[in-house]
Amino acid sequence: MSGPRAVATRATLRRRLAVLLGVAGAVLGGVLVLTGYVAARSSEAQELVTTTYFDAVTRADAAYIRLVDAETAVRGFALTGDDVTLEPYHRSREQEDSIADVARRVEERSQDEDLVATARAARDAADRWYDEFAEPTIAAVSAGGPQAVDAADVERGRVLFDATRTAVEEYNTELRANRLEAVDSVEGWQRLTAVIIAGLVVAALAVGTVLWVVLRRWVLAPVDQLASASRAVSSGDLSHVVRVDGPGEFVQLASDVETMRVGLVTQLAALEESRREIAGAHDRLSEQAEELRRSNRDLEQFAYVASHDLQEPLRKVASFTQLLQKRYGGQLDERADQYIDFAVDGAKRMQRLIQDLLGFSRVGRVGGEVVDVDMARALDRAVDQLSERVEETGAVVTHDELPVVRGEEPLLVQLLQNLVGNALKFRHPDRVPHVHVSATRVEDSWELECRDNGIGIDPQYADRVFVIFQRLHAKDLYEGTGIGLALCKKIVEFHGGRIWIPETAGDGTSIRWTLPAADDERPAPGDEES
């Protein structure tokens, strides 16, 4: 039987411990109650011996001594008539602890009827001696002198006192016997206390041993089983079934762990299947990527070869159409001249297109040397190559302090030439062209910007302008092949950067791009001043 039903049929650890601790608590509680009872009785017996009986015996002895002194004083007074001899008698009468007082305390406090009876007998005998002999004899001698008491009176007094002495001694004997019994009771209770304490220790040891055994069986053993099974699963043996014998909580925990193991096995199987599918897809993707690289190389080679091979026949077409225009221009009719102009213009545009395509295909294929490039110097070279157009338009090209970057210098010069040339081509007819190049450090790269005051670019076309052959204006308005910004994008991406057109406030266009910084670049603009 396994699962929730098996767990439900097992007593839980909480229930087992509750029953065990309840029994242990009841046993120890009973022993403790018995120990308390015995200790209380032993304390009472000790109190009875050390206080009650000790005080009673001491008082009884003192009263008996004073009674003997009083009898001696009365006999001496009867013989001499001297009042001085009565001082012990008077002191005994003045003392509170007389035989009568002792007997009265015994009657009030003791539950022993025999002891109470002997105490009363001693009191009655003492009262008779005082009333029937001592007081009358003292009165007679005080009135008539020693001759007022005869031998018969003295004998009668002796008999009364002997009876009193016998009664007091019986009381004292009975009191001491009771004290000895109390002492024996104290010793018995103390022995019983020692036995109970020993029993309590044994019971505590027994309870502790039982607790250790049951806890080892109910807690430690299931925990060890669960830990062993968990270690087996965590070490890679996912087929190891997690099962525990013990209280319901541990069985439930083992069931939960087993459920988790089964779920993990299922997930791993699914992951393994996914991994195989991903591996297959990766292999297919690698094959496709290799095929794509091969196709790109073929296309680049084709573009290069095609562009290069088209140069020669196109040059012949352009040369002969130009010769035709030079020699026969004006000799034919107006329509023939127009056709010749169309042919010359088409040949020139075809030459520019082939040259741009050739340059575009060479980026990243014809590898140049990667060096530290001073962007300020590269900008000067680019402007110098555009000098004729700059002079024609009256353009002003400025720049902030520009950084040193890592790259191929000819490509970066071509990049700046295309950007500045674009700014001059799309200049505003009512303004003198102004182009400004700046740079900002961003982590390990430089972010450069080329800003102009031209006609600007509609934000909706900000991405289209970097696509090859994309034109936003008719070719009769603005010359060009539609490859310039596409070539810029390819150069920037070849250097590990990106190029984009941000939202521009005001007139003109802003083009930004990033390039990697040089390892030993000079300080950033403004660093020397700071």
Sheet holding 434-442, edge to edge: 396-399, 434-442, 445-452, 510-516, 499-500
Query: Among 83-97, 370-384, 484-498, where is mean pLDDT lowest?
Result: 83-97
Q: Write out the two tokens for 497.
A: 């950067």
More confident residue, 334 or 275: 275
CB 459 within 8 A of CB 500: no
More confident residue, 437 or 198: 437
Q: What number of helices (H) and strands (E) belong to the chain?
A: 15, 7
Burial of 182: CB neighbours in 10 Å, binned 0-12, 13-18, 19+ = buried
Task: Specify the pLDDT at position 437.
Answer: 92
Pairing verdict, β 404-408 and 370-374: antiparallel
Please say if the pLDDT value at position 209 is more than 70.
yes
More confident residue, 286 or 102: 286
* For the chain, domain boundaries: 4-227, 247-362, 366-516
Dihedral sign from CA coordinates of 232, 237, 243, 249:
positive
Task: For the beta carbon of residue 208, count every other beta carbon within 10 angstroms.
Answer: 11
Task: Specify the pLDDT at position 368.
Answer: 66
Please say if the pLDDT value at position 374 is more than 70.
yes
CB 66 within 8 A of CB 100: no
More confident residue, 81 or 489: 489
Dihedral sign from CA coordinates of 349, 351, 352, 358:
positive
Report which of 445, 395, 392 is spatially closest to residue 419, judged by C-alpha positions: 395
Please say if the pLDDT value at position 4 is more than 80.
no
More confident residue, 147 or 416: 416
Say which residues have a Cβ less than 8 Å from residue 320's Cβ, sequence separation at least 6.
none
HSE value, Cβ hemisphere, 13 Å, CA-based, for 518? 19
Task: Specify the pLDDT at position 526.
Answer: 46
Where does the pLDDT of residue 522 fall: very low under 50, low under 70, confident under 90, or very high at 90 and above?
very low
Bridge partners (DSSP) listed for residue 259: none
Burial of 197: CB neighbours in 10 Å, binned 0-12, 13-18, 19+ = middle
138-147, 242-251, 382-391: which is most confident: 382-391
Q: Residue 303: in which H helix or E strand, if any?
A: helix 248-328
Where does the pLDDT of residue 529 fall: very low under 50, low under 70, confident under 90, or very high at 90 and above?
very low
Please say if the pLDDT value at position 39 is more than 50.
yes
Query: How remote is the C-alpha of 404 from its chain's centroid?
Result: 50
Fold exhibited by the domain 247-362: Helix Hairpins (1.10.287)
pLDDT tens-place string over residues 337-359: 677 776 776 666 666 666 655 66
Task: Specify the pLDDT at position 193.
Answer: 79
Burial of 375: CB neighbours in 10 Å, binned 0-12, 13-18, 19+ = buried
Alpha-carbon distance 397 to 310, whole Å?
36
What's the mean pLDDT in 489-518? 83
Query: Among 195-199, 323-327, 379-383, where is mean pLDDT lowest?
Result: 323-327
SS (H, E, C) 450-483: EEECCCCCCHHHCCHHHCCCCCCCCCCCCCCCCC
Task: Specify the pLDDT at position 298.
Answer: 66
Task: Specify the pLDDT at position 116.
Answer: 74
Where does the pLDDT of residue 520 fall: very low under 50, low under 70, confident under 90, or very high at 90 and above?
low
Under DSSP, the state recorded for 247 is S
Where does the pLDDT of residue 299 fall: very low under 50, low under 70, confident under 90, or very high at 90 and above?
low
Alpha-carbon distance 13 to 523, whole Å?
74
Please say if the pLDDT value at position 187 is more than 60.
yes
Task: Specify the pLDDT at position 376.
Answer: 92
Task: Specify the pLDDT at position 501.
Answer: 83
Where does the pLDDT of residue 479 fall: very low under 50, low under 70, confident under 90, or very high at 90 and above?
low
Cα(first)–Cα(last) distance of the chain, in Å? 81
Percent of the chain with pLDDT over 70: 74
Please say if the pLDDT value at position 377 is more than 90.
yes
CA-to-CA separations, 448 to 9, 385, 404, 414, 444, in angstroms, rounded: 77, 21, 12, 15, 13
Report which of 441, 390, 394 is spatially closest to residue 417, judged by C-alpha positions: 390
Alpha-carbon distance 129 to 136, whole Å?
10
CB 441 within 8 A of CB 524: yes
pLDDT tens-place string over residues 68-123: 887 788 878 777 878 888 888 777 776 656 666 666 666 666 667 777 777 778 77
What's the mean pLDDT in 489-512? 83
More confident residue, 450 or 485: 450
Where does the pLDDT of residue 379 fall: very low under 50, low under 70, confident under 90, or very high at 90 and above?
very high
What's the mean pLDDT in 172-193? 77
CATH number of 366-516: 3.30.565.10
CB 162 within 8 A of CB 75: no
pLDDT tens-place string over residues 250-262: 677 777 877 877 8
